Amino acid sequence: MKPMKRSNEPIFWSLFGAGGVVASLVAPALVFITGLALPLGLLGPDALSYERMLALVSSLPGALFLFVVISLLLWHTMHRINHSLHDIGIKAGLGGKVIFYGLALVGTMAAAYFLFATPL
Amino acid sequence: MSARNTYVRPMSGWYRRNPHFLAYMLRELTAVFLAGYAGVLLAGVIALTRGPDAYAAFREFLSSPLSVGLHVLIFIAALYNAYTWFKVSPKAMPPIVLAGRRIPDRVIVGSQLVACVLVFVAMLLLAGMS
Amino acid sequence: MPDRREIDIEVMRYNPETDSEPYIQSFRVPFDEDTSVLMGLQYIKDHLDGSLTFRWSCRMAVCGSCGKMVNGVPKLSCKAFLRDYYPGKLRIEPLEHFPIVRDLAVDQTDFLEKLEAVKPWIIRKDEKPLSEGTYLQTPEEVSSYLQFSSCINCLLCYSACPQYGLDNSFTGPAALSLLHRYNADSRDEGKSERMPLVNSEEGVWGCTLVGYCSEVCPKQVDPAAAVNRGKVNSTMDYFLRFLTPRGGVDS
């Protein structure tokens, strides 16, 4: 039997798994708050106001929270989308990995830049 | 052994053959909506760093019927994804043994559902406080 | 009063010497409360068409020979009953994702090679002599692998696995479950011999947790759990190999 090549999937599966926890535990609440409750006027008048959000991203815990949510959601979803291509019969191979994990990496770096390196 | 003249059936459209596969594909499809939401959050952060006017424009976008409609879909996708995630989670962890007895899968799944609801309520209270 | 119900059974036929592709043939079969799908096929072979080809042996869900697709669902035909499909009809096809040899018989060669590759036996570095007695295990040690040892190699899980159907280089549910069964056995010392397969693309990483394998398994092996615990093991092996000489999992 031919020697087996070690897959580097554990790196992406770990990020996918961590992102899955964020997606299942935090995302439903966040989506409801920012996408539905806020525009439909279910929250208080000050909710998600510029001042309060600025205070949130200016604090290290707040910035870290948003960074983790944005980055891990991207790693979670890009992993799934990459595998879905294979499921529908598209053999993207290395190209798929470069595109989708590349997108997750770019999103992660953008989130880091705007949350930690941009003067407010 | 002589070469056999076997017949290999095609896989095209396999996900339409069984409701379980359709549910699986829907689970994978939720990723597209959740990726979109990650983009919305990132756009919100960028708007914040650009000042009050940019943030006001971002909030205006969130209030548009298009955005609300999309967020209804994203919310459904997030709930379905969460449900499927909790449901399969016992398969990806070693059996948890407490006082010599293995914790049943439904307890593991159930406690995560409860945690999800608690997070939901806590975050709503945090965001809603004015 | 005797049961005089009859049911339509559509069977996929394929003769490699005369057919370029399979076709469906319909039979009308009498049945009662106790008639299994397998007995329905045997009725066809005995009374309607002696050329119908299918595998079976024990008739009691132990041997794993009689798996078929019944209305698109992988089933042991001895454990499925005609009464449950009446008044509808049945469509019986060979197990999905395997090449059809003839009628309902598929070529299992690929699975048998995979089964051998996972080394499904206890590997010891030093065998202790019989005079020193048997290898003892606590009930906890037994329970960590017992369910995975129930596999009867019936291949229903392979027919339920689209990843195997899409790319049969994937080792697949049953072979990976048996691999996990031996890796999880406290008497076994062969984990380091099996981990290269687990860690490869052809090992656990071909799985996307569709989960249907565990639904169709007639022995509650839960292959999806075995494969995904394999992913956890492989991930630990991947990162811990930098910290410990043997990758942390072969303790």
User: What's the pLDDT score for residue A77?
Assistant: 98
Check which CATH number belongs to the domain holding C14 and give it: 3.10.20.30
Q: What is the pLDDT of residue C241?
A: 87
Residue C149's pLDDT is 97
| Residue B130: pLDDT over 50 | no
> Quick check: B11 and C162 CB within 8 A?
yes
Quote the mean pLDDT of chain B.
92
Q: Measure in Å the smallest separation between the Cα of A94 and chain B Cα atoms.
A: 20
* Same-domain status, B34 and B70: yes
- In a domain? residue C246: no
A16-25, C209-218, C236-245: which has the minimum mean pLDDT?
C236-245
> Is residue B95 exposed (0-12), middle (13-18) or buried (19+ Cβ within 10 Å)?
middle
pLDDT (average), residues A90-102: 92
Say yes or no: B20 contacts chain C, CB-CB below 8 A: yes
Per-residue pLDDT, averaged over C122-143, amounts to: 91
On the question of pLDDT at C120 being above 70, the answer is yes
Residue A2 is predicted with a pLDDT of: 62
Q: Is the pLDDT at A91 greater than 90, yes or no? A: no
Q: Nearest chain A residue to B78 by CA: give it.
A: A28
3-state secondary structure of C212: helix
| Residue A3 counted as domain residue | no
Number of compact structural domains in chain B:
2
Strand-pair partners of C26: C10
Residue C245 lies in a domain: no
Among partner residues C16, C22, C210, which is closest to B5 by beta-carbon distance? C16
* Model pLDDT for residues C143-193, shown as the tens digit of each residue: 889 999 999 999 999 999 999 999 999 999 999 999 999 999 999 999 999
Inter-chain contact C234–A1, Cβ cutoff 8 Å?
no
Q: Judge whether residue B114 has pLDDT over 50.
A: yes
| Interatomic CA distance for residues B56 and C121, integer angstroms | 66
Task: List all residues of chain A from 69 to 88 with a beta carbon under 8 Å from chain C.
Answer: 83, 86-87
CB spacing of C166 vs A6 below 8 angstroms: no
Residues B69 and B18 in one domain: yes
Among the ranges given (B23-32, B106-115, C241-250), the one the predictor scored with the smallest mean pLDDT: C241-250
Same-domain check for residues C139 and C176: yes
User: Is some CB atom of chain A closer than 8 A to the CB atom of B67?
Assistant: yes
Chains near A with 3+ CB pairs less than 8 A apart are: B, C
pLDDT computed for residue C218 by the predictor: 97
Q: In CATH, what number is assigned to the domain containing residue A61?
A: 1.20.1300.10
| Residue entry with tokens 């090679």 | C113
Please check the confidence at residue C19 and state whether its pLDDT lies above 60. Answer: yes
Position A40 in a domain: yes
d(CA A37, CA A30): 10
Kindly report the nearest CA distance between residue C2 and chain B, in angstroms: 36
Share of chain C above pLDDT 90, in %: 90
> Residue type at A96?
G
Both B18 and B57 in one domain: the answer is yes
Q: What is the pLDDT of residue B4?
A: 67
For the cut 80, the answer to whether the pLDDT of residue C3 exceeds it is no
Q: In chain C, whose CA is at the least distance from the CA of B98?
A: C140
Same domain for C37 and C91, yes or no, is yes
In a domain, B3, yes or no: no
- The average pLDDT across C215-229 equals 96
Domain boundary among C46, C74, C106: C106
Residue A47 tokens read as 């909710």
Average pLDDT over residues C49-57: 97
Mean pLDDT of C41-46: 98
Write the CATH number for B68.
1.20.1300.10
How many Cα neighbours within 13 Å face the side chain of A37? 23
Q: DSSP for B4-49?
A: P--B----TTGGGS-HHHHHHHHHHHHHHHHHHHHHHHHHHHHHHH
pLDDT at B96: 81
The angle at the Cα of A70, spanning A69 to A76, to the nearest 5 degrees, equals 85
Residue C251 confidence (pLDDT): 42
Quickly count: other Cβ atoms within 10 Å of residue C240's Cβ.
Answer: 13
- Say how many CB pairs under 8 Å bridge B and C: 74
Instruction: Decide if A18 is inside a domain.
Output: yes
Tell me, what's the pLDDT at A92?
A: 83
Domain identity same for C120 and C32? no
Q: Which residues, 6 or more positions from C26, have their beta carbon under 8 angstroms from its beta carbon?
A: C8, C9, C10, C11
Neighbours of chain B (3+ CB pairs under 8 A): A, C
Lowest mean pLDDT, pick from A86-90, B1-5, B57-61, B77-81? B1-5
Determine the average pLDDT of the residues in C44-65. Answer: 97
- For residues C100 and C123, state if they share a domain: no
Number of residues that this document lists for chain B: 130
Domain count, chain C: 2
Could you tell me the two tokens for C165? 């159907």
Residue C245 pLDDT class (50, 70, 90 cuts): low
CATH of the domain at C125: 1.10.1060.10
State the residue range of the domain holding C101.
5-106
Boundary (domain end) residue, out of C84, C106, C128? C106
> Are the CB atoms for A11 and C209 separated by under 8 Å?
no
Average pLDDT over residues B96-100: 79
Domain assignment of residue B59, given as a range:
13-80
Q: Looking at the structure, tell me whether residues C170 and C136 fall in a common domain.
A: yes
Q: Reply yes or no on whether the pLDDT at C1 is more than 70.
A: no
* Domain co-membership, B17 together with B67: yes
Average pLDDT, integer, range B9-21: 95
Judging by beta carbons within 10 Å of its beta carbon (0-12, 13-18, 19+), is residue A59 exposed, middle or buried? Answer: exposed
> Has residue B19 got a pLDDT over 50?
yes
CB proximity list for B98: less than 8 A, separation 6 or greater: none
